[in-house]
Amino acid sequence: MADLVAYPLQRPYPLPPIKNKKEFLVRFDEIFDDTLKRLIIQSKPATDWSEVGWRGIMLHQGEVWVDLEGTITAINYQSQAELARKKQLIEADKKKLYPSLASFKAPLYVLETKKFRIRIDEISEDRYRYASWPLSKSMSEKPDLVLTNGEWFFEGSGGNHRIEFRNAGYKYVCSIIKLGTVDSPDAVLTVYKGEQEILSQDAQLVQEHK
């Protein structure tokens, strides 16, 4: 199976990606626990696997993705072992942040545009926080902007969504693109002053928890 993986195989932040066959073999049992193996073994190709355009073929709701050649491109399922390890890493991650940002329920995304580094965290149930730095600064430094009134909006059934933050007549929209075209960016940051768009920048997903 290690020969059928497109490396690096990304894991939910802050778990490190699996960079090669050697690492896959070491972490195999951590990812492919009995539940996931049973899910794959008992699946029916005609009803449980769906082709989703250029993105490939997914199992159920995207627990496993393969391309048209059968190569594994993504595994979104998380075992109990991975969840426990992720919890430990999140606690370590909090210690590296600017102190006022260290309290949150779950990390969601770190985005980088051509000018900004943006971190989005869930700070409590359905409450989201936006923190922004210039690329020249690290997240251990004081952010230039912090907003804590984010709202989550789903866009269709493909996983696309946006998180909107408002501040003194400005609206900051982080659109996360899960289902787009082959040329679509990972995300887009759009800023509005009133109803007027004043900034729009494509963004790369540097870290992803969701």
> pLDDT tens digits, residue range 103-158?
998 889 999 999 999 999 999 888 999 999 999 999 999 999 999 999 999 987 66
Residues of the chain above pLDDT 70, percent: 98
Mean pLDDT of 46-63: 92
- Asked if the structure places residue 89 within a domain, the reply is no
Q: Is residue 158 part of a domain?
A: yes
Confirm whether 91 is domain-assigned: no
Indicate if 33 and 126 belong to the same structural domain.
no
Whether residues 121 and 20 fall in one domain: no
Same domain for 113 and 75, yes or no, is: no
Contacts of 47 (CB under 8 A, 6+ apart): none
Q: Are residues 35 and 115 in the same domain?
A: no
Do 11 and 74 belong together in one domain?
Answer: yes
Lowest mean pLDDT among 6-10, 14-18, 76-80, 131-135: 14-18
**Residue 86 included in any domain:** no
- Model confidence band, residue 55 (pLDDT cutoffs 50, 70, 90): confident
**Whether residue 67 is found in the same domain as residue 141:** no
Rg (CA), the chain: 18
Final residue of a structural domain among 31, 51, 81: 81
Average pLDDT in the 33-54 region? 94
Mean pLDDT along residues 49-67: 92
Residues 37 and 139 in one domain: no
Q: Are residues 123 and 57 in the same domain?
A: no
Residue 7 located in a structural domain:
yes
Residue 185 structural domain: 98-208
Whether residue 185 sits in one domain with residue 111: yes
Taking all residues of the chain, what is their mean pLDDT, rounded to a whole number? 92
For 11, 133, 155, 186, 198, the CA distances from 190, given in Å and listed in that order, are 27, 16, 16, 14, 8
Does 45 share its domain with 117? Answer: no
In SS3 terms, the chain reads as CHHHECCCECCCCCCCCECCHHHHHHHHHHHCCHHHHHHHHCCCHHHHEEECHHHCEEECCCCEEECCCCCEEEECCCCHHHHHHHHHHHHHHHCCCCHHHCCCCEEEEEEECCCEEEEEEEEECCEEEEEEEECCCCCCCCCCEEEEEEEEEECCCCCCEEEEEEECCEEEEEEECCCCCCCCCCEEEEEEECCEEEEEEEEEEEEECC
**Structure confidence at residue 210 (pLDDT):** 53
Q: Considering the domain boundaries, does residue 90 fall inside one? A: no
Distance CA 147, CA 129 (A): 6
Question: Which of 14-23, 129-138, 154-163, 171-180 comes out lowest in average pLDDT?
Answer: 154-163
pLDDT of residue 209: 62
92 domain residue, yes or no: no
Residues 70 and 103 in one domain: no
Residue 93 lies in a domain: no
Q: Which pLDDT band holds residue 85 (cuts at 50, 70, 90)?
A: very high
* Number of domains forming the structure of the chain: 2
123 and 198 share one domain:
yes
pTM over 0.85: no
Please report the pLDDT score of residue 31 as a whole number.
Answer: 95
